[in-house]
Structure 1
């Protein structure tokens, strides 16, 4: 029988521990961040740096799936926080449903948590997390105001890949990407390998990608998203990142469901938009 416990980390962050016949997971209320997901009988599907100390207000845990909202990356106003403010705020756990050992949890970011100097709009943002053999996240925005709002967003997923030198990421044919401010470049091959820092923002991208690693193959699918971010910091940037070990780049890669660049969302009054991603082991 599925169980859900609300617990407190030694450093003060509250989280939910979820166990069912299908999987186990941890979700931190700060950022509504899925930090751990493991299907029963299989390896964990998410990576977290051992250098993270799980401190409140530090920009999200370095791993799992931080929620980047209401913008992704650096804002055009350089003194605004990178990746928005949602990952630093404590979300409300507002509902749970369990059916056939599939656990669905809903979270919302209360308007009182909005930083109005950055986001003066009347919107509602919700996250649904569905736990079975597959992990699914659904990020919904609802425009409650009388003006169109525009935002970018990403579900900043970190994956365990064992050895970056042996990783092949596939499913990128016919897309375009921007990297380090240059481009867009056409994606000539379906697959991508890694031998240097990679920080690509893909657009016009198909709905399914795969990570073929020494740990197995992870499939990542997206809905209401034609853009995604593929990231590995490599050697030099790893030494500059906070809460990240110098050799962590060997063990992880990010492939993030997103709405960025020309895929930014323009949400008219009364409309809603749901970005979703599903993650699973194929073998």
Structure 2
């Protein structure tokens, strides 16, 4: 029997607990952020740091944080990194289960305080479809009269067991910028890890594969003109917030995104839907 239940974390954050014949999952109201997803009979796909304390106002270090309406640091000093959506409370608009597939829609209301960052008329929602696969969509609808532009990412953290044994494929023919340098031509189809990696890829196909010791995770992207591949490695792990010194060993981020020159330009009345879909092969 499928269940979708609203619960409260020990530290006070509200979340939705999902349990169906096909998967179990957990999505927090803060940030509309999913931090757990496990297909039945298979290993969990998402990673969360054990150092995270699930405090209000902090995006959870793991799962799928939503970076919106900008990715990274804003050019305006002291504006929040990766935008404000990941630390705001979203409203659960609908939740249903049909043929063992759960579908939940969350909506973000832009507060008067946040209009200093985003003084535009838009409707912003997150849609989750959960089966043996996890499908996450960030939907923007421009309800105003003026064109708007933004950058965005679904900042997915994957549980990969051992970074030294991880290979990520699907990069043939692409280019990337790393540490504000480039673009560089990708050499070959696969990427492995032996140092800090922080790449924004362009000219990239819509599917990549994470080859982990536990099996292969498929990562698909739709309406995503760029993708971010990130592992902080040893030195950076020592000063990241809510991140253990050795966490870099068991995680990697591969993010469906539209960043840098791939920002979304949305005319009045238009809608854009950024989607990532992930599952064990």
How far did residue 78 of structure 1 move?
A: 3.1
2:78 maps to 1:79: yes
Pairing 1:231-270 to 2, within 5 Å after superposition: 231-270=230-269
Change beyond 3 A, Cα 1:105–1:278: same
Q: CA deviation at 1:110?
A: 1.0
Q: Which residue of 1 aligns with 2:39?
A: 39
Superimposed CA distance per residue, residues 20-52 of structure 1 (whole angstroms, 9 cap, x where no aligned partner): 000000000000000100000001010000000
Alignment-derived partner of residue 25 in structure 1: 25
User: How big is each residue's C-alpha offset from its partner over 1:78-130, in whole Å with a ceiling of 9 and x where there is no partner?
Assistant: 32111000000000000122111100000000133761111111111000000
Contact 2:73 2:81 in 1 (8 A): yes
Partner deviation per Cα, 1:146-196 (whole Å, 9 max, x = no partner): 110000000000001111011100001111100000001111211000000
Question: Is structure 2 residue 88 aligned with structure 1 residue 116?
Answer: no
For 2:30 and 2:69, the matched residues in 1 are separated by 16
Shift of 1:62: 0.4
| Shift >2 Å, 4+ stretches | 111-114
Cα distance in 2, alignment partners of residues 36 and 251 from structure 1: 15
The answer to whether the 8 A contact 1:178-1:200 is kept is yes
SS in 1 for 2:211: strand
Give the unaligned 5+ runs of structure 1. none
1:165-244 alignment runs, 5 A limit:
165-244=164-243
* Structure 1 position 75, deviation (Å): 1.1
Unmatched runs of 5 consecutive residues or more in structure 2 = none
Aligned length: 281
Counterpart CA distance in 2 for 1:261 and 1:72 is: 8
Q: Which moved more, 1:225-234 or 1:73-82?
A: 73-82
Equivalent pair of 1:122/1:144 in contact (CA under 8 Å) = yes
Task: Let me know the Cα RMSD of the aligned residues.
Answer: 0.9
Counterparts of 1:84 and 1:157 in 2: how far apart (Å)?
A: 16
Equivalent residues of 1:206, 1:226 under 8 A apart: no
Q: What is the TM-score when the length of structure 2 is the normalising length?
A: 0.98
Any idea what SS the aligned residue of 2:253 has?
A: strand
User: Once the 2 structures are TM-superposed, how far is the Cα of residue 253 of structure 1 from its aligned partner?
Assistant: 0.3
Q: How far apart in 1 are the matches of 2:248 and 2:73?
A: 21
**TM-score after normalising by structure 1:** 0.98
- Report if the CA contact (8 A) 2:4-2:95 is conserved: no
